[in-house]
A and B are shown apart, each in its own frame.
Chain A
Amino acid sequence: MYRTPVHTNETTARNGHFSTAGSIAGVNDSPARLPLRTAAAVKLGNLSSSLSQKMGLGAGGMIGGRVALKLDPQALNRLTQGRRVAVVTGTNGKTTSTMMLARAVGALGEVATNHSGANMPDGHVTALSKQPDAPYAVLECDEGYFPAVAGASNPAVAMILNLSRDQLDRVGEVRTIERSLRDAITKLQNCTIVANCDDVMVTSAAWNAANVVWVATGTGWHHDSASCPRCGNPIRWQGEHWHCTGCDLARPHPNWITADEAMITPEHQKIELRLTLPGKFNQANAVMAAAAAHAMGVRTEDAVARLRGVSNVSGRYRTIQRNGRSARLLLSKNPAGWSETLTVVKEANHPAVLVINAQEADGRDLSWLWDVPFERLQGRTVIASGERATDLAVRLTYAEVQHTIVPDPLKAIDQMPQGAVEVIANYTAFRDLNARAAADE
């Protein structure tokens, strides 16, 4: 079997610690032998990735897969054959929970997994090509590509985190996404769906699946589910319970429950989470990952012990030191994400740098800034930053949050008082800031 001669730094760093020992029933020690065409496509794809990296063109996360898919459109299907695959999708928390799940599944054997941003089929093919012998794969998947990826990769587990408004000009409306996930899930055979039952949209998408594990995450953005995605009638909430007033859609009884800093397993065992990552949202990600890992065949204690160690997800949550400032970098891409992040930064009243771009990958329409409760930052030292700092400044003005404008985020950090600073950035703003901060270190 072909083995890739060059591992990228990123892949080695990310996957180097995964155990390569052991297998469970039903999983081959190595994936199926690749047809000649796929093998050649993979070989050329890997070559492109490593060239792209060596020439400094990119991280090599997508180009290899793009080349391989051009040469063999069935590459994703062939590369997943014989592997036990988990696919992770949803609006927020995909990268973090994919990393948690990959760590947890590492208890069983080598795991092929894609990295941040490369969550479309070319990224999946790149990741699988680089680890052709890994018997397990954990794939982060863009919501829009879920039907195609799930259809091609025959997953054993599909984890559906949450669905809320995100980049409406690019991704489309939430209900359209819900309907396409619902159709795709109905077609999956022998797949366990791990779904967040505190999210009306996710529950609807997974409602008809043959095999569902429901997870109460305790998190939910309710602003996109006033009306039932199935019949349009109002959804009524009573505490954590909800039901549709027109059809039988209602919050299912959860199998796994996120409690305060802990989780309760289907066997009613309470396990302390003790995560390195902050916030309720990451507790929800961890419990979803533990439930999915369990469905992949990992003992829960092993899964939790492993995912606790996740601390820095492609630069997210990491702290950079600059001229006496200790700046924590947080990524938030849409109203639900920002709402959660503003909760995370609430406890300490640290100065905050908010960084907003509106490139293609962010969504060009910044209307969503008005769905974020920036009013919570009143009284704090705030700098509006990023390519669209003035749009943010208008929002902050009307939220009556005192602020200054410094478009360059690193300069914005330097203008803060010495000590702890929170930096919250949306997608490309975060990506660019993180790369610049890494280059400075």
Chain B
Amino acid sequence: MSESTIQIALVLPDLLGTYGDFGNAVVLEKRMTWRGIKAEIVPINYGEPVPDSCDIYVVGGGEDTAQTLAVKHLREHPGLQRAVTKNAVVLGVCAGIQIFGESFTRADNVTHPGMGLIDSTSHAGGSRAIGEVIAEPADGLFAGPLTGFENHQGRTVLGPAARPLAHVKVGTGNDGSVEGAVQGRIVCTYLHGPVLPRNPALADMLIEWATGTKVAPLDLPAVTAMRAERVRAAS
């Protein structure tokens, strides 16, 4: 067990908290504390500097204006980028996958620079992708299926340095074929639900990366039942 407290940075929840993605931080914290690993959530609000000392960074989804402001703030206060060079674990959801990339282009055709953490570019798709998603984790990264709810206009193309998080069975994801991205210890996904309550194996993978230790299974009957229900509903 880890001696020190694992710090989970909740990045700009006031800007990127539109879709309940705060729940991802809660799930990481609870799944650690229930196993005797000390963990705490550190909210980083808009206007505050971004520390580079946290172990896990969780970035949520947000509306267009909020997303533009968030990327501006994160470029002015590059704590997250420094943390990545120090091997921090990062989860980026929805807006996260777009702002972590090299660039993202909106429906108005304006291209905004991203943070350059992921080898990807995003652009506006023809229609908004809304609905349940089922995908199979790539390379057996974690136990599947990956389930979630997507609601996004953007489409994302991965470059050679990034690999997909999963292969889409139902839904759209990045482009109708692959979903999300993994590069080093950065994981991105379009999926809400939020994604970690829906996918405990993904949560535990991030925890194992951050703590450097294998974690014991955690039996939560409600989570098992909900996953089965969601997979049934989407299939």
B149/A365 in contact, CB under 8 A: yes
Taking CB atoms and an 8 Å cut-off, the chain A residues in 198-251 that contact chain B are 223-224, 226-227, 229, 232, 234
A370 and B26 within 8 A (CB) = yes
Q: Which of A390-408 contact B (CB under 8 A)?
A: 390-391, 393-398, 400, 405
Q: Which residues of A contact B131 (CB under 8 A)?
A: 169, 364
- What is the CA–CA distance of A397 and B194 in the complex, to the nearest angstrom? 14
Report B-chain residues with C-beta under 8 Å of the C-beta of A391: 226, 229
A351 to B130, CA, bound (A): 36
A227 near B19 with CB under 8 A, answer: no
Assembly CA distance A265 to B21 (angstroms): 41
Complex Cα distance, B76 from A234, in Å, reads: 15
Chain B residue contacts of A168, Cβ below 8 A: 18-19, 151
Measured CA separation A234–B27 after assembly (Å) = 29
A394 is contacted by which of B69, B130, B223 (Cβ under 8 Å)?
A: B223
B residues in contact (CB < 8 Å) with A = 14-15, 17-23, 26-27, 30, 45-47, 63-66, 68-69, 130-132, 149, 151, 192-194, 197, 220, 222-223, 225-226, 229
CB-based contact A173/B63 at 8 Å: yes
List chain A positions with a Cβ less than 8 A from chain B. 165, 168-169, 173-176, 223-224, 226-227, 229, 232, 234, 364-371, 390-391, 393-398, 400, 405
Contacts of A165 in B (CB 8 A): 18
Question: In the bound complex, do residue B17 and residue A371 qualify as a contact, i.e. CB atoms below 8 Å apart?
Answer: yes
Do residues B192 and A367 form an inter-chain contact, with CB atoms below 8 A?
yes
Shortest CB-to-CB span from A12 to chain B, Å, is 41
A120 to B113, CA, bound (A): 41
CB-based contact A365/B151 at 8 Å: yes
What CA separation (Å) do A370 and B18 show in the bound complex? 10
Determine the distance from Cα of A227 to Cα of B151 in the docked complex, in whole angstroms: 22
Which residue of chain A has the shortest Cβ distance to B30 in the bound complex? A398
| Residues of A with C-beta under 8 A to B47 | 234
The number of A-B residue pairs with CB atoms under 8 Å apart is: 96
Which residue, B18, B47, B192, has most C-beta atoms of chain A within 10 A? B18
CB atoms of A405 and B194 under 8 A apart: no
Known: A227-B66, A395-B197, A398-B26. A368 touches B229 (CB 8 A): no
Query: Quick check: B226 and A390 within 8 Å, CB to CB?
Result: yes
B222 touches A393 (CB 8 A): yes
- With a cutoff of 8 Å between Cβ atoms, the chain B residues found around residue A397 in the complex are 220, 222-223
Which residues of A have CB within 8 Å of B132? 364
Q: CA of A369 to CA of B22 in the docked complex: distance in angstroms?
A: 10
User: In the bound complex, what is the Cα–Cα distance between A234 and B47 (angstroms)?
Assistant: 7
Q: Which of A367, A370, A391, A393 has the most CB of B within 10 A?
A: A367
- Of the candidates A174, A229, A365, the one having the most CB atoms from chain B within 10 angstroms of its own CB is A365
Assess the A371–B220 pair: CB atoms within 8 A.
no
Compute how far the CA of A398 lies from the CA of B151 in the bound complex, rounded to whole angstroms: 24
- Indicate which residue in A175, A224, A226 contacts B45 across the interface (CB closer than 8 Å): A226
Chain A residue nearest to B17 (CB atoms) is A223
The answer for the CA separation of A176 and B23 in the assembled complex, in Å, is 25
Distance from B24 Cβ to chain A, minimum over Cβ atoms (Å): 8
Q: Report the nearest A residue to B151, measured CB to CB.
A: A169
- Of B19, B23, B151, B226, the contact of A393 (CB 8 Å cutoff): B226
Q: How far is the CB of B18 from chain A (nearest CB, A)?
A: 6
Q: Within 8 Å CB of B64, what residues of A?
A: 173, 175
When the two chains form their complex, are residues B149 and A364 in contact, meaning their CB atoms are under 8 A apart? yes
Q: Using A226-B14, A227-B46 as known contacts, say yes or no to A394 and B197 having CB atoms under 8 A apart.
A: yes
Can you name 5 extra interface pairs (CB under 8 A) apart from A169-B131, A234-B47?
A174-B63, A223-B17, A367-B21, A370-B21, A405-B222
Residues in chain B near residue A368, CB distance under 8 A: 19-20
**With A390-B229, A405-B222 in contact, do A370 and B151 touch (Cβ < 8 Å)?**
no
A368 to chain B, nearest CB (A): 5
30 example contacts (A-B, Cβ-Cβ < 8 A) are as follows A165-B18, A168-B18, A168-B19, A168-B151, A169-B130, A169-B131, A169-B149, A169-B151, A173-B63, A176-B63, A223-B17, A227-B65, A227-B69, A232-B69, A364-B130, A364-B132, A364-B149, A365-B149, A365-B192, A365-B193, A367-B20, A367-B149, A368-B20, A371-B20, A390-B225, A391-B229, A393-B226, A394-B222, A394-B223, A405-B222
